[in-house]
Amino acid sequence: MVGTSEEQSVERTVNETIREFGALGPPSGLGMMLAGPTIIEHGTDEQKRQYLRRIVNGQDGWCQLFSEPGAGSDLASLQTRATPDGDEWVITGQKVWTSGGMVADVGMLLARTDPEATKHKGISYFAIDMHQPGIEVRPLREMTGHALFSEVFMDDARVADDACIGGLNNGWTVAKTTLANEREGLGSGGGGAGGGAVPGTVAGTLEKRVGDYVRSERRGGAGIPGLLGNTPKMLLDLAHEHGKAGDPHIRQGLARLYSMGEIGRFTVLRTKAAKAAGRGPGPEANTAKLSMSRMVRLTRDLGLAILGPAGMLAGEDAPLNGLIQELALFSPAPSIYGGTDEIQKNIIGERVLQLPREPNTDHDVPFKDLKVGTQASS
């Protein structure tokens, strides 16, 4: 956790030096980005002892079991049930768009524990073991050819009562902390879910030597996360290579992309300063997330403008091993995952600009009395 501006500067210098030398950084993934900060804020001392060390040293990989087929932007309408059974809860339901579900050891699970309460107040937040009977993870293949996401089916899976983080039926408050950290991490200038080796027992990196892993990463190419981490320089080099560095439209686009990146970096510093002062991520996280979506689309447009028809090529013979083509296919995703751009604008409008909330009639209605599919957006 960073505090003073001097500490923030040191953290940035360390991270930049790690990247510069190709050294292995801290474990990547949602444990570091989401679960850890959430447990620090809402977990008990015992939960901190149980989970945090295994997150930091990479022993456990985490996934986020929030979204459902009928509860995406309106997350509070989730249907997954948690039924008490002694000192355990029995979980039944389906989650979708679960990042890293295929390599996760533990899941951040939102489940409905009180259908008599209103939809926001009857939800609890659990840390659930992903390696148990009753949990099935199915990868979702994207048009990029990858499967970063999965759908997860839970049929009488179990989670202990002491794995409830933040208290019974207080899951919505806990989830807001997770979502704020997600938007901050995904936002422009944020660290994202990247870092060092993929953590956990499934990915197979725990058995590797550090040197072997770093060398394999260097051979493997940058990938989408690598491109997004240093886009202005990479695209500038590409423009020089293809004789487009003097094109005024390309130059203007590169300047805009660099400026957005710097604004995003300062926004992250503001957010960290707010954390150091005892305040959680605020509207800065939402604006950063929106800016990141714009930056990805601008990167796509610049890459395709520089390469022309060659931007449609994939494979080892394509420029940058087909990275620009992959980015073009990937570019719609950031405006959807981590909370859609439309949801970010709603939050900014209501909580920052103090505009009237969207009309709805379901905030005071017990969840069991709501008609499925007719809930208003939260």
Residue 265's alpha-carbon distances to 48, 209, 284, in angstroms, are 29, 33, 11
Two structure tokens written together for 371: 């008609």
Q: Is 136 a catalytic residue?
A: no
Q: How far is 81 from 257, CA to CA, in rounded Å?
A: 44
Grouping H, G, I as helix, E, B as strand and the rest as coil, residue 369 is helix
Specify the DSSP element, H or E, that contains 136.
strand 135-140
Q: How far is 149 from 35, CA to CA, in rounded Å?
A: 18
Two structure tokens written together for 370: 């709501």
Residue 50's alpha-carbon distances to 55, 63, 178, in angstroms, are 10, 17, 18
Two structure tokens written together for 218: 């260097």
Q: How many C-beta atoms surround the C-beta of residue 54 within 10 A? A: 19
Closest CA to 357 of 365, 367, 349, 368: 349
Name the phi and psi angles at 220, rounded to 5: -80, -10
Residue that has been written with the tokens 């209501």 in this structure? 350
Partners of 126 in beta bridges: 109, 164
Q: How far is 75 from 78, CA to CA, in rounded Å?
A: 6
Quote the crossing angle between the two packed helices 323-330 and 283-307, to the nearest 10°.
140
46 near 164, Cβ under 8 Å?
no
Q: How far is 181 from 282, CA to CA, in rounded Å?
A: 9
Two structure tokens written together for 298: 């601008």
Partners of 123 in beta bridges: 112
* Amino acid in the structure at residue 304: L
Marked catalytic residue, from 68, 182, 284, 326: 182
Q: How far is 71 from 377, CA to CA, in rounded Å?
A: 10
Grouping H, G, I as helix, E, B as strand and the rest as coil, residue 96 is coil
Active site residues: 182
